[in-house]
Copies of this chain bind each other. A is one copy, B any other.
Amino acid sequence: MELLNRHVTVRNFLQKAIEPKLLESIICSGSRASTTGNMQLYSVIITEDAEMKQKLAPLHFNQSVAVSAPVLLTFVADFNRFSKWCKNNKAEPGYANFLSFFTAAIDALLVAQNTCVAAENYGLGICYLGTTTYNAKEIINVLELPKLTFPVTTIALGYPEEIPNLTDRIPIRCIIHREKYKDYTEDVIRDLYSYKENLESMKEFVKENDKETLAQVFTDVRYKKSDNEFFSEKMIQTLREQGFMD
């Protein structure tokens, strides 16, 4: 599992296009992932056009990777195609609801990760853009996504300029629970995160952000309560507009 074990996020790409046949073959391998009832409730939007990238960039908070990557793949939870098939076949689809959205989102995310593994196998690098759910509404407009679809994540894809170092992970023992969830005591939490907190890069990160603790960088700068609440409202409203909350 060398391929999985050496996965890193790549944010700088060579100015080298991805062969159309290679790209298709990667998505094809990605789409071998299991989906709910083999319904394949997803679509993949390929962005290569410079003008389209310029339109998407601000929706991804102008992360440079969103502009510099040769290819963006937006993974869309899609109950539109399946529902149309139902209607064509004397069947009444019942997928205008939250469970169906989440089911399609699972499908799209499993295929996204499988696509990343396939891409890395061919020497490509990837970066997930978590901003997709923040600005789903505007991304829907740019990509002209119809009702019963919703973009759940985006992958920036290209040949790496360089391979960054592996990033840290908290110890596996604290991710795994045997038979029942074992809740974390203060001592365990301290133990689990001490390695991360003591990394030079993380100490630097705290200093850069003018904070006292690493956790404060997350709560006060990167993933703030007020932002999370604002984007929660917006996401639910957009799910409603896309017909998933009828």
Contacts and interface: CB of A to CB of B under 8 A. Distances in A.
B27 A220 contact: no
Contacts of A26: 1
Given A32-B5, A184-B84, A228 B99 contact: yes
Interface string A137-152: 0000001111001001
Contacts of A152: 106
Nearest to A180: B144
Interface in A212-227: 212-216, 218-220, 222-226
B28 A113 contact: no
B7 A43 contact: no
Interface string A75-106: 01000111011101111111101111011011
Interface stretch (A33-41, A59-67, A157-165): A33-41
B43 A172 contact: no
A242 interface: no
Residue among A126, A169, A214, A232 with the highest chain B CB neighbour number at 10 A: A232
B223 A37 contact: yes
B215 A85 contact: yes
Interface in A146-199: 146, 149, 152-153, 167-170, 172, 174-181, 183-184, 186, 189-190, 192-193
Contacts of A193: 85
Interface residues of A, number: 115
B184 A91 contact: no
Nearest to A132: B106
A226 to B, nearest CB: 7
Contacts of A17: none
30 contacts: A1-B118, A5-B29, A7-B34, A31-B175, A32-B169, A36-B223, A37-B223, A39-B223, A43-B177, A43-B181, A45-B178, A49-B179, A81-B174, A86-B215, A89-B216, A90-B215, A90-B216, A91-B220, A92-B225, A93-B225, A97-B228, A97-B229, A99-B235, A102-B105, A102-B235, A103-B133, A106-B152, A143-B177, A143-B181, A144-B181
Q: Which 6 pairs across A and B sit closest by C-beta, in order of nearness?
A: A94-B225, A91-B215, A89-B215, A113-B113, A89-B213, A99-B232
